[in-house]
């Protein structure tokens, strides 16, 4: 598929889960394609980074479910911070483990999973719809019932994939990309390179973390996670990320940045990168 093909699968009001972690291995080419579309009123579930910030800046987000939103080396994502402070988005601020369990419950087609995460914090106060359950066993412990986070669409970025949807993650951490895919009705993987299945299998079982059973389409997208990291293929582009964050603070600079880097397709984006 192409990035445009994937975006045609996304409609107004859908719940979209985005894999990766902060400013690490985000499906940025798919996010940029979504920015160029007319889609709006999305609920976004993410361990957020620039994916969340860009979608907020473009007015695509109605509600955000997240454990954090950070650029890692820059603690707060500037566009998210602006949207949060202005109150232009609805938010469900959760413990990171609660997001994981919400995805896992959806993957297992369960209505909720019990957890201690979030108890003793302000999370239940800020999300009053949350409920607790009492253990049916002798201890009778009161636990928080984390509701499932079912997704209409999941977007993740992998290092390698085959055309059938099997994908390999070569970096030090798979994050929770497998749960995002399993929690969704429609699932799309962008990757640095599409390989023949036999060559992909040669990378070994530890790398083959994403199954074709969970994938509906594959997009070959070299540098598709830029400017976030995609170790070991490439690290985070810190200079680009700083330029992004600096531009976010100035409307005129942001318009120029967006016109150059966000309004072009994936091929033109790569050409611009090569010319830097």
Which sequence spans correspond to the domains of the chain?
Answer: 3-94+149-238, 112-147
| pTM of the shown model | 0.96
For all residues of the chain together, what is the average pLDDT?
97
Instruction: Using DSSP bridges, classify how beta strands 61-69 and 15-18 pair: parallel, antiparallel or unpaired.
Output: unpaired
Q: Mean pLDDT lowest for which of 53-62, 122-131, 188-197?
A: 122-131
CATH of 3-94+149-238, one of 3.40.250.10, 3.40.1080.10, 3.40.50.970, 3.75.10.10: 3.40.1080.10
pLDDT mean over 205-234: 97
What's the confidence (pLDDT) of residue 172? 87
pLDDT mean over 180-205: 97
Percent of the chain surpassing pLDDT 90: 97
Percent of the chain surpassing pLDDT 70: 100
- Contact by Cβ (8 Å): 218, 165: yes
- Contact by Cβ (8 Å): 99, 80: no
Report the alpha-carbon distance of residue 47 to residue 70 in Å, rounded. 8
Tens-place pLDDT, residues 122-140: 999 999 999 999 999 989 9
- Contact by Cβ (8 Å): 207, 233: no
């Amino acid at each position: 598929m192409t990035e445009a093909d994937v975006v045609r699968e996304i409609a107004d009001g859908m719940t979209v889960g985005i894999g990766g972690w902060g400013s690490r291995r985000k499906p940025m080419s798919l996010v940029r394609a979504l920015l160029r579309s007319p889609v709006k009123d999305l609920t976004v579930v993410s361990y957020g980074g620039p994916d969340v910030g860009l979608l907020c800046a473009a007015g695509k987000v109605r509600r955000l479910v997240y454990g954090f939103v950070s650029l890692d080396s820059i603690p707060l994502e500037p566009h998210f911070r602006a949207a949060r402070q202005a109150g232009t988005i609805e938010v469900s601020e959760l413990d990171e483990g609660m997001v994981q369990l919400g995805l896992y419950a959806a993957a297992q087609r369960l209505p909720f999973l019990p957890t201690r995460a979030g108890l003793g914090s302000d999370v239940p106060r800020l999300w009053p719809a949350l409920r607790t359950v009492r253990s049916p066993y002798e201890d009778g412990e009161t636990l928080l019932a984390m509701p499932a986070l079912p997704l209409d669409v999941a977007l993740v970025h992998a290092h390698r994939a085959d055309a059938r949807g099997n994908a390999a993650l070569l970096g030090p951490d798979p994050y929770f990309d497998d749960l995002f895919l399993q929690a969704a009705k429609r699932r799309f993987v962008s990757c640095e390179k599409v390989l023949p299945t036999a060559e992909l299998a040669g990378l070994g079982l530890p790398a083959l973390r994403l199954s074709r059973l969970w994938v509906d389409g594959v997009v070959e997208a070299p540098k598709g996670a830029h400017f976030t990291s995609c170790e070991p293929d490439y690290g985070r582009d810190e200079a680009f990320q700083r330029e992004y964050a600096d531009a976010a603070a100035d409307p005129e600079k942001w318009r120029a940045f967006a016109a150059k880097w966000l309004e072009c397709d994936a091929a033109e984006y790569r050409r611009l990168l090569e010319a830097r």
